[in-house]
Amino acid sequence: MPSLIPITLSSRTTIPLSGALSTIQNGIGQYQSIGTGFYNSYNQQQQPIGTGNFGIDMKNRVVLSLQSGIQDEVNWSLNQLAKYTYSTLVFENDNYIAMELVKYLTKLFQLIRDKKYELINEDVIRHSLDALVTLRNSSQELSNQQFLSQIPNFKKQLVEILKFLFNWNFVAGFKNSQLLKYDDQFSESLMYLLDLIEPLSCYYINNSKNDPLFHTLFQILTVTNDKYIFITTLKGISHLLITWDKSQQKDEEEEEPQEEEEQVKNNCIDSITEEQLQTIVNVLLVADNELNYAVLYFLKMYLFSKALYLDHSVTESQQFRLQKLIKSGLDVLVKQLPLLVVADLPLSDSTPKNIPATTLARRTKQSGAPLTAPELGEDLYKILLTFPEPARASTWLHCCYAPSTTEEVEVTQISIWKAYETQFQEVWKSENPSTLLHPLLPAVEFIKNVTKAFPRAEAKVLSVSNEEQEPKKKFIIKGIKPRQFPVSIEVGGYEALKPFKVTEEPTSNSDLPIGHVDINSFTQSLASDYINPDQVVLLKTYKLNPINTLSHKFLGYIVSEILNKEKPDSDHYASNLFRLHNSYWLPDLIYTNPGLLQTGIIEPNWLKYCID
């Protein structure tokens, strides 16, 4: 009958009890088998059994541990994989390990889906997280990306996990009390899962309008405030816009034109809404290169995709998406793209430096600013009349007053209030009770609003002394002055909020008569030009980064397809926006950096939209 031999820690080599020795010669010294170990007479120390034999390699050790199913062995193997297999694990050769990782990743979320919360413990959570980390690390290798993307139903499993993690992290009231103690692990899992999906999304092409992965990623994109999650999610969305180009198909391959054509027509790209486009484009306003590049890469995939829209051609489909993008973000695009075209380039500063102060005589006794605010033109008045408060008051202030550092013009609070009240007397004199005009601000609220319209303005109270009478208080507004003529809403708002350097006001030469021209000072002013023409380097080589290149491509596309195609009888909305945002800085920048034109970084036809 067969019998089980008990496993002991003693050597299988038996020796007589009398202590006889079995001598083994091994070049270095004599090894004597005594009891349960080896004795090295050369080193005078006892060596354990197996010394010099490295045993099984790490990969086979991990496989055997996973096959054993023993809890401690599985814990060890998944932990080791998460630590050491970033660059050595190749799923094509180790497909058993890959499928085990997928199994342990999805097991946790299968239990959650089946509401078997009592079976979820620390080990299940740890196994899922270790497997996810290993898959995420290994997916950085191209061969592993290809293997994982071809696993049947793996994309569907990833979507189910992603939906749960989205609801857990972003949907109020979704968290289950029985799983609340694993909140940190679920938050961590979302980051790793997005890292895994981002490279795999390159292989999920020709996705339909109802693709669940595409829409789940967009749900995350529109609610997250985390920079890393936003960038990773947007990259995944950009990859899902990839379409299969039939022109690259080999001639000998069998074609399936009808099936592929229908698939490309139903592409997920046309399910993107204007609100979602606006959310993405608005990120360009953030001064962050990583965010800007992610947005520009998405715009590249969106604008130049060859997916067909309904029965239109590729060119018509691209035109449709451009118009959709313009509706949602033209203001941001024409403002930020020119700035990104020259971002991080070694440019010369266009601000004048070290210009000597000149002293010229006054041409008149009158002050440089009028004493009262100008009246609005008819067209501008009709626009401001319908504004609600305090927008109407702020806009009127911007159009009729300008920021100032001089104290020669004194604006009293009563004068500015009376000017406002007189300008809009149609509002408070109206006898029609059904009028839709908003009432004027009360005087106190109007004065408070002045300092909001002009951040550098200040309401002050002065004490005016008189020998015959007691001192009187005088209420003034410091930091603004009336304009000679009203300006547009855009110009007034920009001048009120733009930063400016405080400079000393030039003093006039009181010894010279009024109307006298100081020839010496005039010549000195002409000599202090901003740039010495002899020192200008016309041609300069700039090293462009991807942000410069992509921005140049998009801006040129918008100018050629939108601005250049505006009809003479249209309102020229796009070109006016471009002029508003770029006319105050782009010509000056090119004047000090002419190499931008010669190297083609700035196109000459862009400048015509900066000239009134």
- CATH number (domain holding residue 419): 1.10.10.10
- Write 119-122 long-range contacts (CB < 8 A, 24+): 120/178, 120/179, 120/182
pLDDT band, very low/low/confident/very high, at 2 (cuts 50, 70, 90): very low
What distance in Å separates the CA atoms of residue 274 and residue 325, rounded to the nearest whole number? Answer: 7
Measured in residues, the chain has a length of: 612
Q: Are residues 17 and 84 in the same domain?
A: no
Using left for φ > 0, alpha for ψ between -120 and 50, and beta otherwise, residue 244 falls in beta
Looking at residue 326, what is its pLDDT? 95
Tell me what pLDDT residue 250 has: 47
Structure tokens at 517: 């021209």
Whether 344 maps to a domain, the answer reads no
Strand positions, DSSP E, 447-603: 458-464, 472-478, 480-482
Q: Which three-class secondary structure string do you get for 518-542? A: CHHHHHHHHHCCCCCHHHCCCCCCC
Torsions phi, psi for 610 (to 5 deg): -100, 0
Tokens, residue 97: 């390990």
Same domain, 42 and 126: no
Number of domains in the chain: 3
CATH number at residue 225: 1.25.10
Q: Is residue 172 scored above 60 in pLDDT?
A: yes
Q: Could you tell me if residue 65 is inside a domain?
A: yes
Query: Which pLDDT value is given to residue 517?
Result: 63
Residues 47 and 191 placed together within one structural domain of the fold: no
- Closest by alpha carbon to 608, among 587, 593, 588? 587
Reference 239, options 289, 158, 191, 300; nearest CA is 300
Q: End of a domain among 16, 36, 55?
A: 55
Of 188-192, 207-211, 534-538, the one with minimum mean pLDDT is 534-538
pTM: 0.67
Round to whole Å and give the CA distance between 493 and 480: 14
Whether residue 71 lies inside any domain: the answer is yes
- Provide the 3-class DSSP secondary structure of residue 502: coil
Mean residue pLDDT of the chain comes to: 82
Dihedral angle sign, alpha carbons of residues 363, 369, 372, 373: positive
Same domain flag for 73 and 202 = yes
Tokens encoding 198? 């981002």
pLDDT, one tens digit per residue, over 59-72 is 888 899 999 999 99
Integer Cα distance of 164 and 175 in angstroms: 10
Q: Are residues 51 and 65 in the same domain?
A: no
Tens digit of pLDDT for each residue in 386-428? 888 888 999 999 999 998 877 666 788 899 999 999 898 888 7
Residue 224: φ, ψ to 5°: -75, 145
User: Same structural domain for residues 50 and 140?
Assistant: no
Considering the domain architecture, whether residues 422 and 480 belong to the same structural domain is answered as: yes
Question: Do 390 and 492 belong together in one domain?
Answer: yes
Q: Which domain holds residue 106?
A: 60-172+181-245+257-281
Q: Considering only residues 47 and 8, tell me which one the structure prediction assigns the higher pLDDT.
A: 47
Going by their DSSP bridges, the two strands 401-403 and 45-47 should be labelled as unpaired
83 or 40: which carries more pLDDT confidence? 83
Q: How far apart are CA 604 and CA 493, in angstroms?
A: 29
- The reply to whether 101 falls in a domain is yes
Q: Is 405 exposed, middle or buried (0-12, 13-18, 19+ CB in 10 A)?
A: middle
Contact 455, 479 (CB under 8 A): no
pLDDT of 367: 53
In the predicted structure, residue 556 carries a pLDDT above the cut 90: yes
> Is 422 inside a domain boundary?
yes
Q: According to the model, what pLDDT value does residue 48 have?
A: 73
Domain for residue 415, yes or no? yes
Same domain? 196 vs 275 = yes
Token duo for residue 262: 């229908």
| Confidence check: pLDDT of 466 > 60 | yes
Find the mean pLDDT for residues 152-162: 96
- Look up residue 5 and give its two tokens: 């031999």
Residue 460 has a pLDDT of 84
Report which listed range, 234-248, 300-314, 405-419, is most confident: 300-314
**End-to-end Cα spacing for the chain:** 107
Residues 49 and 75 in one domain: no
Residue 5 pLDDT level (bands cut at 50, 70, 90): very low
Cis peptide before 482 (omega within 30 of 0): no
User: Do residue 22 and residue 79 come from a single domain?
Assistant: no
Among the residue ranges 124-133, 163-172, 450-459, the one predicted with the least confidence is 450-459
Which positions ≥6 away from 101 have C-beta within 8 Å?
A: 78, 81, 131, 134, 135
Q: Give the relative orientation of helices 95-113 and 122-138 as an angle to the nearest 10 degrees.
A: 130
The angle subtended at Cα 483 by Cα 482 and Cα 487, nearest 5°, is 135
In which band, very low, low, confident or very high, does the pLDDT at 611 lie, cut at 50, 70 and 90?
A: confident
Do 239 and 91 belong together in one domain? Answer: yes
